[in-house]
Amino acid sequence: MSLRVICLMPRFNVTGLTAARSMSTKVDSKNIGFIGLGNMGGPMASNLMKRGHKLHVFDVSKSASDKMKALGAKVYDKTTDLAGNSEFVVTMLPNNDIVWNTYEEMTASGVNKDTIFIDSSTIDPNVAKQVQKLVKSKGARFVDAPVSGGVPGAENATLTFMVGGTEDEYNCVKGVLEGMGKRITHCGGYGMGQAAKLCNNMLLGISMIGVSEAMNLAMRLGLDPKTFSDIVNSSTGRCWSSEVYNPVPGVTPGAPANKNYAGGFSTDLITKDLGLASGVATASNTPIPMGAMAHQMYRTLKSHGYGSKDFSIVYEFLKNEKNN
């Protein structure tokens, strides 16, 4: 009850949004802070503006901020000022340390208690929990809401958000996140959005190597790749990596394999996610033999210069090419 009240009672005067409101009558325009305007954050912030929200932005890169300014966002030098003018603050940052430092600095001199902070970075669930405690200690609310869907998802507002927080907080942030994605999932309490993302991506990283090995072996034994993938996809080996994102060129239309492994989900990113998964597995003393092996394989791929390529390039890496 009280939650609904909080969510519907804007404490801020939203100005200059008349036009946007009339364009998009369904959306209740909000003042939204956005910190981190990179390949993901840039299009996400942009989509929020298209949706009718007023954006307050910060980035260490001036050019990234300038782009948003050109689209109508207000640019800030200090995150404390940004947070002071925002009902919601979305952070989209590269790693644990930067997330923690950003929140420490932003909340150091206190925060508006009605502001809800949403971290969409991919970080250690335990760091997410610590950030929540920090924000709560200042009197405000925080949820973790990492995404999947990559740059295309960010650009087309088709991301999946995995939210960790209370049911009430989930309901509160859902509307805002819908401006950037099409699936907003409630995963559980604080940190559980991060946990869900890491565990899912660990499985993804394993499956992709599994599909790569199976396709490669099948082809070396004489099977046609299309025939074999059809068999797998209607059988017990079926998985997203074989059906939607097959690593063998020519098998799945639209997959990065058909574009020389450009775009997609980079080896750098899956390695980062598996590194985080590995860290939480160590901390929780959970055996992940396959996850650890997948981590090492992608890390080896990075060593060999494939960091920026789509992670399905592991197929190319395994394929026998240079001798018998």
- For a copy of itself, the binding residue among 22, 25, 236, 254 (CB under 8 A) is 236
- For a copy of itself, the binding residue among 30, 53, 54, 295 (CB under 8 A) is 295
Q: Sign (positive/negative) of CA torsion 317, 319, 321, 324? A: positive
The interface mask with a copy of itself, positions 119-138, x = CB under 8 A, is ------x-------------
Distance between CA atoms of 222 and 242, rounded to whole angstroms? 18
Element (H, E) at 102: helix 96-107
Q: Does 214 bind a copy of itself (CB under 8 A)?
A: yes
Output the smallest distance, CB 56 to a copy of itself, in A. Answer: 31
- For a copy of itself, the binding residue among 7, 90, 206, 251 (CB under 8 A) is 206
**18-57 binders of a copy of itself (CB under 8 A):** none
**Closer residue to a copy of itself in complex, CB, 106/277:** 277
Q: Does 101 bind a copy of itself (CB under 8 A)?
A: no
**Closer residue to a copy of itself in complex, CB, 131/195:** 195
CB hemisphere CA count around 152 (13 angstroms): 9
**Closer residue to a copy of itself in complex, CB, 92/206:** 206
Q: Does 309 bind a copy of itself (CB under 8 A)?
A: no
Distance between CA atoms of 196 and 317, rounded to whole angstroms? 28
In DSSP terms, 54 is beta-bridged to 31
- For a copy of itself, the binding residue among 231, 259, 260, 262 (CB under 8 A) is 231
**177-196 binders of a copy of itself (CB under 8 A):** 183, 185, 187-189, 191-192, 195-196
Q: Determine whether 133 is an active site residue.
A: no
**Closer residue to a copy of itself in complex, CB, 237/249:** 237
Classify each residue of 39-78 as buried b or exposed e, where b means 16 or more C-beta atoms within 10 Å of its C-beta: ebbbbbbbbbbebbbbbbbbbeeeebbebbeeeebbbbee
**258-277 binders of a copy of itself (CB under 8 A):** 271, 275, 277
Q: Does 224 bind a copy of itself (CB under 8 A)?
A: yes
Number of residues that bind a copy of itself (CB under 8 A): 87
**Closer residue to a copy of itself in complex, CB, 36/193:** 193
User: Which residue, 116, 120, 163, is CA-closest to 138?
Assistant: 116
**Closer residue to a copy of itself in complex, CB, 46/148:** 148
Q: Does 209 bind a copy of itself (CB under 8 A)?
A: yes
Q: Does 77 bind a copy of itself (CB under 8 A)?
A: no
Q: Does 222 bind a copy of itself (CB under 8 A)?
A: yes
CB neighbours of 144 closer than 8 A, spacing ≥ 6?
118, 119, 123, 125, 128, 131, 132, 163, 164, 165, 190, 191, 192, 193, 194
Q: Which of 30, 54, 138, 197 is catalytic?
A: 197
DSSP string, 276-291: HHHHHHHHTT---HHH
CA angle 230, 234, 240 (to 5 degrees): 80
In DSSP terms, 88 is beta-bridged to 32, 116
Distance between CA atoms of 216 and 60, rounded to whole angstroms? 44
Catalytic residues: 197
